């Protein structure tokens, strides 16, 4: 499946994928110490987006995206439709 070429493309697709199917979306990343490489993957089983990096600077961006995901994934008292329609914070 497609590797995004820039972080911004990846993050944008990742958010769209989550909002399309909040309960089916998985946000994951893999670190391989030997290669010093991080691979990010977000999928809702319909669409997938991946991004690979070897740069330390991307950790900060991972933090931002994880925060965004975490906030929505733990949002209580809303069902999926509400989460897609009105995210807790833009």
Partner 1 sequence: MGLLDQDGFVSELAKLYEKRKLGGSVWISMKRVSRDVRTPRKQPIQGAKCLVRATDGKKKISCAVLAKDSIRFQLDLMDVVKAHTGGLKDQPKKTRGMKGKTS
Question: Residue 26: which H helix or E strand, with range?
Answer: strand 26-32
In the region spanning residues 36 to 75, those forming contacts with partner 1, defined by CB under 8 A, are: 36-38, 53-59, 62-63, 66-67, 69-75
The minimum distance between CB 4 and partner 1, in angstroms, equals 18
**Residue with Cβ nearer partner 1 (15 or 75):** 75
Q: Is 89 in the site for partner 1 (CB under 8 A)?
A: no
Neighbouring C-beta atoms of residue 33, cutoff 10 Å: 6
Q: Is 16 in the site for partner 1 (CB under 8 A)?
A: no
CA distance 13 to 78: 23
**Residue with Cβ nearer partner 1 (47 or 62):** 62
Tokens matching residue 30: 């893999």
CA distance 41 to 45: 12
**Residue with Cβ nearer partner 1 (12 or 32):** 32
């Amino acid at each position: 499946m497609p590797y995004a070429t820039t972080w911004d493309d990846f993050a944008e697709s990742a958010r769209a994928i989550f909002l399309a199917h909040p309960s089916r979306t998985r946000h994951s990343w893999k670190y391989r110490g030997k290669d010093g490489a991080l691979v990010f993957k977000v999928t809702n089983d319909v669409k997938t987006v991946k991004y690979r990096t070897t740069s330390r600077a991307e950790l900060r961006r991972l933090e931002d995206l994880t925060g965004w995901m975490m906030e929505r994934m733990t949002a209580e008292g809303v069902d999926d439709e509400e989460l897609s329609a009105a995210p807790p914070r833009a």
